[in-house]
Structure 1
Amino acid sequence: MVTTLPFVSLPVSQADVTYEYGPDSELREGVEPGIVEEFSIDASDQFPGTSRTVWVHRSAGYSPSQKSAVMFFNDGWWYLDPDGEVRGGTVLDNLAATREVPQMIGVFVDPGVVDVDGAPTKHRNAEYDAFDDRYANFLLHEVLPRVESRFAISSDPMMRGICGGSSGGNAALTAAWTRPDGIGRVIALNASFAQMPEGNPYPALIASESIKPLRVLLHAAHRDLNWNSRDDNWFAESLETAAALARAGYEFRLVTGDGGHSPNHGGVLLPDALRWLWA
């Protein structure tokens, strides 16, 4: 089967571009909004001294007798905000209404906040850019049990996904890479692999290690930071990671756009990214 796409002109200017949202990013007529619950985590074993808020979304029609998939979203409220650039809850409601994803609980997790000399300071980069299993363990052992106390969640790693952008994209891939026994599906939007403290580990790791049971969608922006520079090229690091996945034989997809380092294009892509991820 061949899919025919309508003609879209290629931007000639090297200036930034903005993408228009599709109908799945707006609440559709006849689609009942889901329910969102909120809780706080004021102490953490993996990240001592941090506190954060978590929002748990379930779409209308949820059946408590059926075990649910779970989708973690890094940068919690940024990704849930119905007036923001990603609109995760709205997207999940629309896809649930058409049954294009399995019954799913969306877990929107804010990065931690620490007290530095009396001022609340984001712990985001320390959590998201690190190449270790702490963030995965935090999700699986500190966040997920709170969700499981309210909902029946499948224990199958391929019924658990994670999505994030920029440093949150780093965290999404790292969580699944280090704990494929707990998370099997990944969306990394505009990932900032270039700013990981020891550099981007993924091209070499993917090429040298046995294939992991992961399904991965990467998004890269042509005009990401330093896109035309020899060093610290965020666009090139995403392409090299994608090429390594392709050569290794992973079930993966790469989507590129002409924007800059912005959540806009990733937000526009989210409905179709979720469709592909959970197909």
Structure 2
Amino acid sequence: MGKTVEICLDDSAVYPGTSRKIWIHIPAAYDPAKPAALSIFQDGWWYLDPAGEVRAGMVLDNLVQHGEIPVTIGVFVDPGVFDGVNESEGRRNRNREYDAFDDRYATFLLDEVIPHVRRHVSISSDPDWWAICGGSSGGNCAFTAAWLRPGRFRRVICFLSSFAQMPGGNPYPRLIPHSSRKPLRIFMQAGHRDLRWNESERNWLAENLRTAAALAESSYDFRLVLGDGGHSLNHGGVLLPDALRWLFRGDGAMRPHG
């Protein structure tokens, strides 16, 4: 099995006053002489927790061991919190980071998180080997990071994305058909009983379906899996191995990259 390194990021230039934990999971097959693929997970501990519903570190270990994906470093990033602030005063910075339609979070990853990762492991510079994953607000965060920085993030997993609660509304059904096609590969999961599934406004299911329809009409390389459940990470946890296989399939993905 692989090993996990924990990092405490005590301050941020992009999100001043926040601190957070980051975990770097290194599969046993990792060879420092061969730059590895990268998969970044929002809400890091939810995905890494070995007793949780996803157990993404174990998933990466198993897929790499069986040669189903390239050797892939998992980077698990928790949302920021403001130290000394209680919950009622807005201690968690999660929604401000994840739901915003801007490139601050992508900048934070590239300028503040990735340098820490590179101190521990060698990762490929090929954007086709960089995946980003999240669920709920972390799902639209992953989508936005890839949409605004496709030169860096090109493989995307979005579970139950909270497009419905983005400030100003979900921009993607309008934006995707009127933008040049980006070199992205996107795995989406939506739930039939997601939040407000039968409401006329801020409907999580409907906004995911509208985004998927825009991707289909614009000939994107994407896959949508629709489940019967509610706003739970359980289905995403079941789907993660298949999602990673699908993201890294073909296109020379198993060849070493610099």
Aligned to 1:164, the other structure's residue is in SS state strand
Alpha-carbon shift at residue 152 of structure 1 (Å)? 1.2
Aligned to 1:58: 26
Pairing 1:275–2:245 present: yes
State TM-score, norm by structure 2: 0.93
**One-letter code of the match for 1:235?**
L
Pairing 1:184–2:181 present: no
Alpha-carbon shift at residue 109 of structure 1 (Å)? 0.3
Per-residue deviation, residues 27-55 of structure 1 (Å, max 9, x unmatched): xxxxxx21000111111111111100000
Aligned to 1:125: 95
| Structure 2 Cα separation of the partners of residues 227 and 151 of structure 1 | 42
Match of residue 230, structure 2, among 233, 250, 260: 260
Per-residue deviation, residues 112-167 of structure 1 (Å, max 9, x unmatched): 00136466811100000000000001111110011112211111111101000000
**One-letter code of the match for 2:71?**
Q
State TM-score, norm by structure 1: 0.87
Aligned to 1:223, the other structure's residue is in SS state coil
> Rg: which structure is higher?
1
Alpha-carbon shift at residue 263 of structure 1 (Å)? 0.4
Aligned to 1:77: 45
| Structure 2 Cα separation of the partners of residues 108 and 157 of structure 1 | 18
**One-letter code of the match for 1:40?**
C
Aligned to 2:204: 234
Aligned to 2:192, the other structure's residue is in SS state strand
Aligned to 1:224: 194
Q: Matched residue pairs, number?
A: 247
| Structure 2 Cα separation of the partners of residues 231 and 76 of structure 1 | 30
Pairing 1:101–2:69 present: yes
| Structure 2 Cα separation of the partners of residues 116 and 136 of structure 1 | 26
| Structure 1 Cα separation of the partners of residues 85 and 158 of structure 2 | 33
What 5-or-longer segments of structure 2 have no aligned partner? Answer: 250-258
| Structure 2 Cα separation of the partners of residues 116 and 220 of structure 1 | 36
RMSD over aligned Cα, in angstroms? 1.1
Match of residue 174, structure 2, among 192, 195, 204: 204
**One-letter code of the match for 2:34?**
Q
| Structure 2 Cα separation of the partners of residues 204 and 251 of structure 1 | 18
| Structure 2 Cα separation of the partners of residues 199 and 112 of structure 1 | 23
**One-letter code of the match for 2:178?**
S
Match of residue 13, structure 2, among 42, 45, 50: 45
Whether contact under 8 Å (2:20, 2:79) holds in the other structure is yes
Alpha-carbon shift at residue 229 of structure 1 (Å)? 1.4
Aligned to 2:140, the other structure's residue is in SS state helix
Per-residue deviation, residues 194-249 of structure 1 (Å, max 9, x unmatched): 00011001111101100011110110000001111111111000000000001101
What 5-or-longer segments of structure 1 have no aligned partner? Answer: 1-32
Match of residue 149, structure 1, among 119, 122, 145: 119
| Structure 1 Cα separation of the partners of residues 77 and 143 of structure 2 | 16
Aligned to 1:8: none
| Structure 2 Cα separation of the partners of residues 115 and 126 of structure 1 | 16
Pairing 1:90–2:58 present: yes
Q: Percent identity?
A: 61
